Structure 1
Amino acid sequence: MPFLHGFRWVIFEYQPLVDEILGSLGIQDPERQETPLESPCYPAEDDSRLLVLKEVLERERHSPFYQGGVSCALLKVAELGLVHAAEILLQHGADLTFEDPVTYYTALHIAVLRNQPDVVELLVRRGADINRRDRIHESSPLDLASEEPERLPCLQRLLELGADVNAADKIGKTALLHALASSDGVQIYNIENIRLLLEGGADVKAATEDGDTVFSSVILLLGETEGGEREEVRMINRFCFHVTRLLMAHGADPSECASYESLTHVCLKSFKLHFPLLRFLLESGASYNCSLHGPACWSGLHIVFERLCSHLSHSEDDSFSTDLLQKAETVLELMVASSQTVHLPSNFEINPDNCRFHGEKIKALFNSLKQLERSAQPLKHLCRVYIRQRLRPWPMDVKVKALPLPDRLKGYLLLGHGSSSDEDI
């Protein structure tokens, strides 16, 4: 049916019946309300109202526009969360597959959008296709439920009712990728939606045809922190940290090459800006080389020294240089403490003459790594690597402090640095 004809059909043919059905319940069409729609406290579902509704449906059942009217009315009561009215409409022939002529959403989609979990359950139990995609955006009910924190009750109900958590649209986008893509860390803080999907079996290896992975949105958000306002940057960083921790806890690999970049690679390239997240990644076992192709693809050691030389060639500010060198040293220590042997990339050399400032300090860092690579690792280093690996996942410092060891050994396990927590992100 052509769009304009379908719209005209609603307005001029069965809309009067829709109005009469809603009027029997003492309510207006939600689209015609002057005030924003909220969860209403209508007397619409008391016994007397429902009896009037049944009388209207019996009286109008031979109308040529009955099927369209009662089905469209189902969309409206689903939007308002009127479970008993929806049940009566279904008993009197409302079509679960009926679509809104403008949005092409079914009653199930609309119930999810308005966070009406009881209506969602009714519709599914009465035969609505729980995985049905709309014809405009190809969104399933689970996709829509994943996108807003307010829809968490619907998301939980859909999963309990058997929605396919890994169903994907034609480009491979799953509900988890929808949830991640809709997040901006500031206005949409849907961490619980993401957690629920992961606990429900969402595949962390899902990827779209365009190459977007579960870390693509995190990488995009991190790019917005450069030059941003302090409070907004803090909120984005915290969101990215929590989401990354969830994804890694369910097996996501932040160092695996994607179509664009991996998360670890991005954090290494901007280790000063993303130091807390990079520290978490390395302490949680993320590879500091490409986990798919090895250091020939990209090497964290190479990136850190390259960035050090680049930054210190343009600034001689002491506070900036000191902070940058301290962070670089910590990152390098974390890399060393994560593996029993140190393997520098082949033909990897550093020319400190290319660094206008602090060349000697960079050379000293590099020489210490070269020395570690050439020498057999001492027992204390091997023990540190083993213990730190056994204490994963993060937070490392909390677990180290709980060990029955002298403070000096705890300091060695913690690389001599103070505690860290997600409050620092």
Structure 2
Amino acid sequence: MPFLHGFRRIIFEYQPLVDEILGCLGIQDPEKQETLESPSCLAEDSSKFLVLNKLLERETQSPFYQEGVSYSLLKVAELGLVPAAEILLQNGANLIFEDPVTYYTALHIAVLRNQPDMVELLVRRGADINRRDRIHESSPLDLASEEPERLPCLRHLLELGADVNAADKNGKTALLHALGSSDGVQIHNTENIRLLLEGGADVKATTKDGDTVFTCIIFLLGETVGGDKEEVQMINRFCFRVTQLLMAHGADPSECPAHESLTHICLKSFKLHFPLLRFLLESGASYNCSLHGPSCWSGFHIVFERLCSHLSSSEDDSFSADLLQKAETVLELMVASSQIPKLPSNFDINSTSCRFQGEKIKALFYSLKQLQHSPQALKHLCRVYIRQRLKPWPVDVKIKALPLPNRLKWYLLIGHGNAGEEDI
């Protein structure tokens, strides 16, 4: 087997040379060695490098010379020893040499160990900046995107010309790696995501399995149900900030299919995800399927369906009041996005299933239907017009800065602070 053969070659053929090379640098156990220590040890470097050069000159004709110096390059790349790497490269180290166990090159390893100066050296000396490993098909940029600590390497790779939209055989890009590696609690790749987006990452990237930039966010939101309160807050905060970044770069949260639509998911759980849903609607997200319109799915239908479902089983007054208030705000946001609301054809509700608050739900529904069939009030038309003119979204900060009476600003803002919103 190639794997075993490569491993045996390290042990029996070129490992002695590797040990000598590392010994010249004062490295006995690379696994425990820190990165290049402190300025106090730099004075010794010149003598170490002289010894290393003499060793390499002496061993040039060794049958396993190139394997030895190339494998040594992997080790010094891991430790960030740039001067030693330069010497090894000058003496024949192969940039495409792979670790026989992980199949990573020196550039991959430098990224994994967050050695940005080493990354720059290797790329400038000819390392393939977009090369993928043979096991996971990860490029250096993919690996740099997966951990917040690797942000310096990510920045260097982008500056050095890495292809920000290169995808593996499954269609996964560095942006999707950054999103998929985030758990919102211990790993927050927010800055990695920001840097990739600013570098031109495509927000429409989709894998062969149909995963989009919102797949990770939808998954994490699902993890908040019944979770630890502190962790739930952290996840919600992460999802909110990443959604802001994605939408600022043109991502559409209302596309089909519905199970991959962030807006659809937030509408179905509008009580739980109210702050994020309000941000989506205030930022111009469609409250219907953005591809097929209300015939595919409609926010109005979803909100009334969830209202009837929740209020058919709970008579808790505080729960009902909070739910109705949030529903009213969501409906008002959807109505305020256009002069005439886009309701699905034959839109109706079955209020008989609502054991509690049925009259209030019917009143909400009829007021909505009336908007569709009656001339719009001037104040509604003015609100829609002003909000549209304040684009790009979101408009809340812009509204607050307008020279208008506070009461009118409050009308334009639509329910800020009235729906028991938790902090994000």
Task: Give the TM-score normalised by the residue count of structure 1.
Answer: 0.96
- The residue number in structure 2 matching 1:113 is 112
- The residue number in structure 1 matching 2:3 is 3
- The residue number in structure 1 matching 2:151 is 152
Change in 2 beyond 3 A, CA 1:38/1:286: farther
Change in 2 beyond 3 A, CA 1:129/1:419: farther
Deviates more, 1:393-402 or 1:149-158: 393-402
Shift of 1:51: 1.1
The answer to whether the 8 A contact 2:294-2:342 is kept is no
Q: Deviations over 1:24-71 (max 9, x none)?
A: 01112423x3xxx65341637721111111111111111111111000
Partners in 2 of 1:121 and 1:350 — Cα distance? Answer: 62
Q: Deviations over 1:208-233 (max 9, x none)?
A: 00000000000000000010111100
Helix, strand or coil at the partner of 1:314: coil
Helix, strand or coil at the partner of 2:266: helix
The answer to whether the 8 A contact 1:99-1:105 is kept is yes
- How many residues are aligned here? 421
The answer to whether the 8 A contact 2:340-2:372 is kept is yes
The answer to whether the 8 A contact 2:253-2:263 is kept is yes
Pairwise CA RMSD: 1.7
Helix, strand or coil at the partner of 2:260: coil
Partners in 1 of 2:290 and 2:34 — Cα distance? Answer: 48
Shift of 1:75: 0.1
Helix, strand or coil at the partner of 2:232: helix
Q: Deviations over 1:288-345 (max 9, x none)?
A: 0000111111000000000000011111111111111110000000000111112321
Unaligned runs of 5+ in 1: none
Helix, strand or coil at the partner of 1:103: coil
Pairing 1:381-420 to 2, within 5 Å after superposition: 381-418=380-417
Shift of 1:137: 0.2
Partners in 2 of 1:309 and 1:416 — Cα distance? Answer: 22
Change in 2 beyond 3 A, CA 1:324/1:39: farther
Partners in 2 of 1:162 and 1:244 — Cα distance? Answer: 26
The answer to whether the 8 A contact 2:183-2:220 is kept is yes
- The residue number in structure 2 matching 1:375 is 374
> Is the aligned partner of 1:39 residue 2:38?
no
Shift of 1:362: 0.4
> Is the aligned partner of 1:13 residue 2:13?
yes
What amino acid is aligned across from residue 296 of structure 2 in structure 1? C
Pairing 1:78-227 to 2, within 5 Å after superposition: 78-227=77-226
- The residue number in structure 2 matching 1:289 is 288
**Identity over the aligned pairs, expressed in percent?**
82
Task: Give the TM-score normalised by the residue count of structure 2.
Answer: 0.96
Shift of 1:395: 4.8
Helix, strand or coil at the partner of 1:424: coil
What amino acid is aligned across from residue 18 of structure 1 in structure 2? V
Partners in 2 of 1:360 and 1:217 — Cα distance? Answer: 39
- The residue number in structure 1 matching 2:330 is 331
Helix, strand or coil at the partner of 1:26: coil
Shift of 1:417: 3.3
The answer to whether the 8 A contact 2:308-2:353 is kept is yes
Shift of 1:260: 3.4
The answer to whether the 8 A contact 1:288-1:299 is kept is yes
Helix, strand or coil at the partner of 1:46: helix
Q: Deviations over 1:332-374 (max 9, x none)?
A: 0000011111232111111211111110010010011011111
- The residue number in structure 2 matching 1:30 is 30
- The residue number in structure 1 matching 2:316 is 317
The answer to whether the 8 A contact 1:211-1:258 is kept is no
What amino acid is aligned across from residue 28 of structure 1 in structure 2? Q
Shift of 1:393: 4.5
Partners in 1 of 2:330 and 2:247 — Cα distance? Answer: 19
